Amino acid sequence: MRPSMSLVRSVQRVTRRSYSSEAVPERKVAVLGAAGGIGQPLSLLMKLNPLVSHLSLYDIAGTPGVAADVSHINTRSEVKGYAGEDQLAQALEGADVVIIPAGVPRKPGMTRDDLFNINAGIVKGLTAAIAKYCPNALINMISNPVNSTVPIAAEVLKKAGKYDEKRLFGVTTLDVVRAKTFYAGKANVNVAEVNVPVVGGHAGITILPLFSQATPTANLPHDVIKALTKRTQDGGTEVVEAKAGKGSATLSMAYAGALFADACLKGLNGVPDVVECSFVQSSVTELPFFASKVRLGRNGVEEVLGLGNLSDFEKEGLESLKPELKASIEKGIQFANQN
């Protein structure tokens, strides 16, 4: 779980010297929603990633400008912009990884589930196109509510006869990024060395950081752990409120999305021991989807890792989150099968 350092090092290497493209395979990454608040900085970060050879930027509008801008950066990948549904096929063809930050963000007072009505349809349409044009791609689902959009994507892929549970990921990396930052602040340790698994889902109490497994260990008192847990669970809302109607986390999400996509690319390229938390099809609990540590490899998910030892507080948190997560998963499945 230390891709942040390796991504930073990769980017530093690229800015220091020109990149030798013989060293790594060709990889096409498509960003769907690339002209948006997350999409733009995410496209920038993927352009800085030396593992990417082709960067495909798709949105309903605005992508030619974003693509022209990003394409001037002197790094490995060739950038193409695609705008509008009639260019979606070209945007997707041959993609190894498809990152989806397409959809509306929250405003103050809204829950992630309040985005369901609009985003469910967007995700459904985009996943149907993935099933058609790049069924082998690893899908990195960012669009909220992740607890429902991932099950929607799974159902759409199943209907198309293209579902491979190893290739579908809900991106929960921002929860891990936040847990690491907040923990380092309280534990007074070097943030670059911190690891904290975050399990469950990606909304409110379904986000369950496992501070009992945090390293370096710090023996923080229970009230501090409780406060850290709450802050991690409410991290998205903290940003939504601070932005006061201008959307939700975009920059930290772009960073987290770039980390997760980098981990997927490393896995595809055969780098060993790439482990990240993600919301995937799972048998770790009785729920069909669950976020936990996942080992990434040449086919996507190599292994869904278990939860490890939980504190009593975390055990309680796990039981409390299950009904909400179950309902969100079922809502997604029902939507995909009714519409």
Ligand X SMILES: NC(=O)C1=CN([C@@H]2O[C@H](COP(=O)(O)OP(=O)(O)OC[C@H]3O[C@@H](n4cnc5c(N)ncnc54)[C@H](O)[C@@H]3O)[C@@H](O)[C@H]2O)C=CC1
- Residue nearest ligand OAA by beta-carbon distance: 236
Phi-psi label, residue 178: left if phi above 0, alpha if psi -120 to 50, beta otherwise: alpha
Q: DSSP readout, 250-299?
A: -HHHHHHHHHHHHHHHHHHTT-S-EEEEEEEE--SSSSSEEEEEEEEETT
Does residue 249 bind ligand OAA (CB under 6 A)? yes
Q: Would you say how long the chain is, in residues? A: 339
Stretch that binds ligand X, among 2-10, 29-37, 44-52, 131-139 (CB under 6 A): 29-37
Secondary structure (3-state) at 84: coil
Chain mean position to CA 73: 24
The site for ligand OAA, by CB under 6 A, has a size of: 12
Does residue 59 bind ligand X (CB under 6 A)? yes
- Catalytic (active site) residue 72: no
Does residue 57 bind ligand X (CB under 6 A)? no
Residue 60, contacted partner among ligand X, ligand OAA, none, CB below 5-8 A by kind: ligand X
Residue 200, contacted partner among ligand X, ligand OAA, none, CB below 5-8 A by kind: none
Choose between 110 and 310: whose C-beta lies nearer to ligand X: 110
Residue 239, contacted partner among ligand OAA, ligand X, none, CB below 5-8 A by kind: ligand OAA
For residue 2, what are its two tokens? 């230390």
Does residue 240 bind ligand OAA (CB under 6 A)? yes
Q: DSSP readout, 100-151?
A: E--SPPP-TT--GGGGHHHHHHHHHHHHHHHHHH-TTSEEEE-SSPHHHHHH
Phi-psi label, residue 200: left if phi above 0, alpha if psi -120 to 50, beta otherwise: left
**Least distance CB 258 / ligand X (angstroms):** 13
**Least distance CB 207 / ligand OAA (angstroms):** 8
Query: Rounded to whole angstroms, how far apart are CA atoms 160 and 163?
Result: 8
Stretch that binds ligand OAA, among 78-86, 216-224, 237-245, 321-329 (CB under 6 A): 237-245
- 186 φ/ψ angles, rounded to the nearest 5 degrees: -85, -35
Binding residues for NAD(+): 33-39, 59, 119, 142-144, 253
Using CB under 6 A, list all residues that contact ligand X: 32-33, 35-39, 59-60, 101-106, 115, 119, 122, 125-126, 142-144, 146, 171, 174, 202, 247-250, 253
